[in-house]
Chain A
Amino acid sequence: MLIWIGPKKKSNGINEDFFKFFFRLSSWITIGITFAIIASLSYETIKFFTLIDPREFFFNTTWSPQTAFRADSVGSSGEFGLIPLLWGTFFITTIAMCIAGPLGLLCAILTAEYLKPNVRTVVKPLLEVLAGIPTVVYGFFAAIVLGPWLRSMGVTLGLDVSTESALAAGIVMGIMIIPLISSITDDVLTAVPSAMRDGARGVGATREETIISVVLPAALPGVVAGFIMAISRAVGETMIVVMAAGLAANLTINPLEAVTTVTVQIVTLLIGDQEFESAKTLSAFALAFTLFTVTFILNWIAYRNYKNAVNRLRQ
C-alpha cells in the first residue's frame, strides 16, 4: 500500500494558498499606492501642461489663478507662476527650522547625554506628546492666539504686522517639528559607541568637550538626515499654513508680511465644488506633483543618510 508523505495542500485548517496569496497581495497593494499617487498626479499634471506652458509654470513670478473663472475676459487663463509659492514655502520652513533646529538638537543632547536613564524614560515620551498633537490644533494656536498676539505686539512697537504673518506660522511649525528632530537626533546620538566617549574622557576631555568634538561629529550624518526629514515634513505641512498663513502670493523677505505656500494653494484651489477640467483645478495637481517630488527627494536623501550613519556607528 502506498502512503502519500509529500506536502499536503491543506493542513490544520489553514488554506496555505489563500494566506500566501493574501500576504503577497497586501504588499503589492502598498506598492500599488505609490504607483497610484504618481499616476493620478502626473495624469492631471500633463493635462494641466496642455493648457498652460510648463515654462510659465516654473519661471513666472506671479501666481493669481483667480481670474481663470472668467472664460471670456482678457487674461482668462490666469497666471500660474510657481516661484512665489515655492518662496513662501521655503521662507516659512526656514523660520520653522530656525526655531526647531537649535531647540530640537539641544533637547536631544540633553536626553541622550545628560539625563539619567530613569529621568530619560519620562522626558522622552513627554517631548513626543508634542508630536502627537494634531496639526489643526497647532493651526488654531497660530491663527487665533499667536497671530493676533504678534500683531498687537507689533502695534506697541510701531511695526506693521500682518495677522497672517509668516512669522506666526513659522514659529508654530517650528514647535511642531521639535520632537521630530529631537527623537531622530537622540536615536543617532545613542547609537554613537560608548567606546568613543570613554576614549575622549580618558585623555582628559570634559563631558561637553566630548560631546562637541567627538560625539556630534560622529553623529553628524544622522543629525543632518533628521534635519532633512524635518524640512520635508515642514514643506508638506498643510493645516498650520492653511489657517495661519495668507493667500496672497508675495515675494517678500519680511517675516511680518503674509506669504502663501504650495499646500495652502492646493487647499484653496480644491476646497468646495468646482469643475474638474479647468486650469485652476488642474494646477492644484501640478502643485501637488511638485510637492510630492520635492518631499520624495528629501526623504530619499534623509533615509539613505540615516541608514548609512546608524549602520556605520553600530559597526
Chain B
Amino acid sequence: MQSTDLDNKITGRRRVVQKSLEYACYSAVTLTAILMIIFFATLGYRGIGAFTQTKIEVDVVEVQSTSKKSINEAMYRLVKEPDRSTKKGLRQLVTPNAYSTIDITEAGTYVLVAHTNVDMYVKGVYDKLTDSQREVVDILISAGKIYRTWNWSFWTNSDSRSPEIAGIWGAMVGTFYTIGLALIFAFPIGVGCATYMEEFPKKRNSWTYDFMEININNLAAVPSIVYGLLGLAVFIQFFGMPRSASLVGGLTLGILTLPTIVIACRTALRTVPQSVRDASNGLGASRLQTTIYQVLPAALPGIITGTIIGIARAIGESAPLLMIGMVAFILTAPTGILDPATSLPVQIYLWADSPERGFAEKTSAAILILLLILVTLNLLAIWLRKRFEIKWK
C-alpha cells in the first residue's frame, strides 16, 4: 500500500499527531473490549456455581409422625448427645423446603437439598456456618454424604424465599406469555403501518407523511419507563385489567416494540426495487395485490429479522414491567395470561435487590441464561438474513 508508505515518511509534529490519533483509536477499542471481557468474565465466574446444587444424604432410622420430625431426628443422630444450640445448627443444614416436599414413610436414605449456607460453604463462596455445623459438614463431605450435582431445580422451580431451591421456571413462563402477546399484538400492526407508509402514501411530501415519520422515530426513542406509565394509566386504571398480569405486560411491551418493527419493516420494503411493483402492476394486478403477492413476500426476510431484533429488545426490558406491577413474588408459574406473573429480567432485578447473599449467584446465572437467549435470537436473525435475503441486481 503506497499511501501507508507515504504516511510513514512523515516526521516531527505531524508524526506525533498522526500516531497519537491512531493509538487513541486502537486503545479506545481495546479498552471497550477489556470492559466487555471483565463484564462477561465476572458474570460467568459468579454465576457458574448456580448450575450445581449441594445435596445432603440423610439416613432416616425411625419414622416419626411428620416428615419434619423424621428429618430432624435423623440430623440429630450425626452428633453424639447434641445440646440445644447444636440441634438447631443441625436442623439448619437442610433446606426448610424439604419438610413439605419430601414424604418420609419408611426408614432409609433420603437425598435432600442442603441449606444455602452449606451450599455456599461447599462452593467456597462464603462461610456462615457455626463451628459445630462446620465440623459436621466436613465429616459428611469426607464421607461422601454431601456432594454437588447438576442443579435441575434451578430450571424447573419458581422463585422462593430460600435461595437454594429458587429457580427461573416461573419467570421463563412469564416471559414467554408476555413476549408471545407482544408479538401477536405488534407484528401485524407494525407490518400494516409500515406497508401503509411505504406502499400507500397519498403524497410523499405531505404533512401527514412527515408527521407519521416523526411520530415513529420519536416513539422509538421514548424512554421505556414512559411506556410503563402508559400501561399503568390506560390498561390498568382506565380499562381495569388485572395488575401484574402478563396480558398488560404483553400489551405494554407490544407498544414498546411496535416502532422498532415499523422501522425495520420500512427498511425491508424499501429494498424491494420499483421494477417488481411496475411489473406486477403491468400484468394487471391492483396495488394491493402487488403489495400482498409481490412486495411483502420479497421483503419478508428483512421483516422477520427486524422483528426478532425488536423482540430481543423487549425480552430484556424490565422498567415498564416494574410500573405495571409485574414484580410480584410469585411461587408458582402462571397458568394463563391473567395470572400474576413476572419475567426473567424482573426476576434478575428482584434477586439482585435481595439482601440474602445466596441469591447473588442465582442472579448471575439468570443473567447468563437471559444473555444466552438473546444471543441465540440475534444469531437466528443473522442466519435468517444470510439464508433468505434476496440480492436485487
Tell me how far the C-beta of B3 lies from the nearest C-beta in chain A, rounded to whole angstroms.
7
Complex Cα distance, B31 from A232, in Å, reads 24
Q: Is the CB of B348 within 8 A of A140?
A: yes
Contacts of A24 in B (CB 8 A): 196, 200
Complex Cα distance, B224 from A291, in Å, reads 11
B286 within 8 A of A: yes
Q: Is the CB of A136 within 8 A of B214?
A: no
Q: Is the CB of A243 within 8 A of B352?
A: yes
Tell me how far the C-beta of A282 lies from the nearest C-beta in chain B, rounded to whole angstroms.
11
Q: Is the CB of B345 within 8 A of A136?
A: yes
Q: Which of B27, B230, B288, B323 contacts A36 (CB 8 A)?
A: B230
Q: Is the CB of B197 within 8 A of A291?
A: no
Q: Which of A16, A103, A145, A284 contacts B32 (CB 8 A)?
A: A103
| Majority SS at the chain A contact face | helix
Name the interface residues of B344-367: CB closer than 8 Å to any CB of A. 345-346, 348-349, 352-353, 360, 363-364, 367
Name the interface residues of A7-31: CB closer than 8 Å to any CB of B. 7, 11-12, 14, 16, 19-20, 22-27, 29-31
A211 within 8 A of B: yes
A123 within 8 A of B: yes
B interface, size bucket: 35 or more
Name the interface residues of A82-136: CB closer than 8 Å to any CB of B. 102-103, 106-107, 109-110, 114, 123, 126-127, 129-130, 132-136
| Majority SS at the chain B contact face | helix
Contacts of A207 in B (CB 8 A): 3, 7, 18
Given A30-B189, A295-B222, A41–B229 Cβ distance below 8 Å? yes
B212 within 8 A of A: yes
Q: Is the CB of A33 within 8 A of B18?
A: no
Q: Is the CB of B316 within 8 A of A135?
A: yes
Binds A, one of B64-72, B106-114, B255-263, B269-277: B255-263
Q: Mark B260-294, 1 if CB is under 8 A from A, else 0.
A: 00100000000000000000000000101100100
Q: Is the CB of A206 within 8 A of B7?
A: yes
Contacts of A285 in B (CB 8 A): 229, 233
A-B contacts, 28 of them at CB < 8 A, read A25-B192, A26-B190, A26-B196, A30-B189, A30-B193, A30-B216, A30-B259, A30-B262, A36-B234, A40-B233, A109-B25, A132-B374, A135-B316, A137-B370, A140-B364, A178-B32, A201-B3, A206-B18, A209-B14, A212-B17, A233-B221, A236-B222, A263-B223, A267-B225, A271-B322, A272-B325, A284-B229, A303-B217
12 more A-B residue pairs beyond the given contacts A40-B229, A209-B18, with a C-beta to C-beta distance below 8 A: A26-B188, A26-B191, A30-B216, A30-B262, A34-B215, A132-B312, A133-B316, A137-B371, A235-B223, A266-B323, A300-B214, A300-B218
